[in-house]
Amino acid sequence: MLALKAENISKQYRLGQVGTGTLSHDLNRFWHQVRGKEDPYLKIGEANDRTQKSESDYVWSLQDINFEIEEGDAVGIIGRNGAGKSTLLKLLSKVTKPTTGKIFTKGRIASLLEVGTGFHPEMTGRENIFLNGAILGMTRREIAHKFDEIVDFSGVERYIDTPVKRYSSGMYVRLAFAVAAHLESEILIVDEVLAVGDAEFQKKCLGKMGDVSKGEGRTVLFVSHNLTAVKELCRSGILLDKGKLIFAGSVEQTVIEYQKSSLTKSTYLHSGTPETALGNENIKILEFSVMPERGESIDINSGAHVKIKFLNFCPDINLDITFELRTFEEVIVFHAGHLISQQADARLGEYNIEFEIPAGLLNAGNYYFRLVFGRDQTFPLYVNENIASFEVNNVRLGSKMHIFPGITRPAFDFKIN
């Protein structure tokens, strides 16, 4: 039996506006609707690519999405920032309506999309539990039966009669998840809001979602950048990219397809005018490379040489740069910052920075760099979410056999007596 079905759903937004944003557009849209004609603004718009300058006021956050989800399935929805994951969950939760297409659901839906969703700030935690249960169609007796279990799971018993507007974000999300997971809904939808909680609570939530899908037979939709958690919790996967559905299938294959689509060249070399290079009005990147220190390719014994060449358009500031290396499972390997200038003496023009990743540091696997340029170590001048990706091979070139767990692969000098 199907729990959810999406038929050609799309969602269009006008940048910076509510509705179409102008009376003439609203009247034009209404006039076409009265005459039974197609909405004229559905013919225009661009894919939701945050890295490109917009040529249109209209953006397709989602476009022509089709899928089916069986009852009791646990589905992981993955994709890079701006892929449309949160928009899709809002449509499935009926927080907003699709611009085109239809969504069919069977059963009640409990969703946790962002901190604050579904709670009235002036009401206490206790009152919000009963309010959420009533919205789901539960009787007061049914909610009361679950009440102690919800409060115990959330760990906010001391503040249960305090208005939730006084809660911290961590307390808020603890109670919100407890309510969504324990009340009797057939479909549970959870966005990456769980990242607000601490590591212990995240682990507790993942365990509860596993119980919900495997033990109770309820349908779970889960959005997360933590691919390890997605693989452990989910059986199926949906991959989105720039508002389009790229792949749907087993969670293992979905993760593989995501890694393929995210893997870019380990070298970025700009050709052309500086104006067209990666960056913005503050920083332009002319070159970025990750190359083996020794040999033809990067492996666990080769080490890697990282080089960046960029133009700075912000003189006389304290300029800094941060290199954040991540695995494709979104585990941060290191976060290394460097103060380029400390006396408000950053120069206008070109900078070259190089450093080495020592041999025996990285295990075999796929990695990518996130770059952050800043001023005074607080104000970001330019952020690039994935400047370059690269693969570290095992000792035997290309071999995927005997890859040990973990991120590091140190070569210790063992002494045996």
The pTM score is: 0.64
Looking at residue 302, its pLDDT comes to 87
pLDDT > 70? residue 51:
no
pLDDT > 90? residue 159:
yes
Task: Read off the tokens for 407.
Answer: 């991120």
Task: Read off the tokens for 332.
Answer: 């941060």
| Closest to 205 (Cα-Cα) out of 167, 239, 165, 176 | 176
What is the arithmetic mean of pLDDT over 68-76? 91
pLDDT tens column, 3-22: 899 999 999 887 655 554 56
Looking at residue 397, its pLDDT comes to 40
297 compared with 332, residue with greater pLDDT: 332
Looking at residue 206, its pLDDT comes to 79
Residues 124, 175 contacting (CB under 8 angstroms): no
> First and final CA of the chain: distance in angstroms?
65
Looking at residue 38, its pLDDT comes to 65
- From the CB of residue 30, how many other CB atoms can be counted at a distance below 10 Å? 12
Provide the pLDDT confidence category of residue 258 given band limits of 50, 70 and 90.
confident
Looking at residue 372, its amino acid is V
pLDDT > 80? residue 71:
yes
Provide the pLDDT confidence category of residue 324 given band limits of 50, 70 and 90.
very high
What CATH architecture applies to the domain 68-261?
3-Layer(aba) Sandwich (3.40)
b (16+ CB within 10 A) / e for 34-51: eeeeeeebeeebbebeee
Task: Read off the tokens for 119.
Answer: 């709670």
What whole-number distance in Å separates Cα of residue 206 and Cα of residue 98? 29
Domain 267-392: give its CATH superfamily: abc- transporter (atp binding component) like domain (2.70.50.60)
283 compared with 59, residue with greater pLDDT: 283
Looking at residue 309, its pLDDT comes to 95
pLDDT > 50? residue 50:
no
Average pLDDT, the chain: 83
Looking at residue 386, its pLDDT comes to 85
Looking at residue 46, its pLDDT comes to 47
What is the arithmetic mean of pLDDT over 344-352? 94
Residues 48, 194 contacting (CB under 8 angstroms): no
What whole-number distance in Å separates Cα of residue 158 and Cα of residue 319? 46
Non-local (6+) Cβ contacts of 351 within 8 A are 309, 310, 311, 312, 340
Looking at residue 306, its pLDDT comes to 94
pLDDT tens column, 372-414: 999 988 899 999 988 888 888 776 544 444 557 778 887 777 8
Provide the pLDDT confidence category of residue 86 given band limits of 50, 70 and 90.
confident
What is the arithmetic mean of pLDDT over 269-295? 90
What is the arithmetic mean of pLDDT over 197-205? 75
Percent of the chain with pLDDT over 70: 84
What 8-state DSSP symbol labels residue 173? H
Non-local (6+) Cβ contacts of 112 within 8 A are 118, 173, 176, 177, 180, 189, 190, 191, 193, 194
What whole-number distance in Å separates Cα of residue 311 and Cα of residue 286? 7
DSSP percent split of the chain into helix, strand, coil, nearest 5: 25, 35, 40
What whole-number distance in Å separates Cα of residue 301 and Cα of residue 360? 6
Choose from 111-125, 199-213, 225-239, 347-361 the range with maximum mean pLDDT. 347-361
pLDDT > 70? residue 49:
no
The secondary structure element, H or E, covering residue 116 is none
Q: Indicate the domain borders of the chain.
A: 68-261, 267-392
CB-neighbour burial class of residue 242 (10 A; exposed 0-12, middle 13-18, buried 19+): buried
What whole-number distance in Å separates Cα of residue 369 and Cα of residue 361? 16
What whole-number distance in Å separates Cα of residue 229 and Cα of residue 329? 9
396 compared with 167, residue with greater pLDDT: 167
What is the arithmetic mean of pLDDT over 129-156? 88
pLDDT > 90? residue 318:
yes
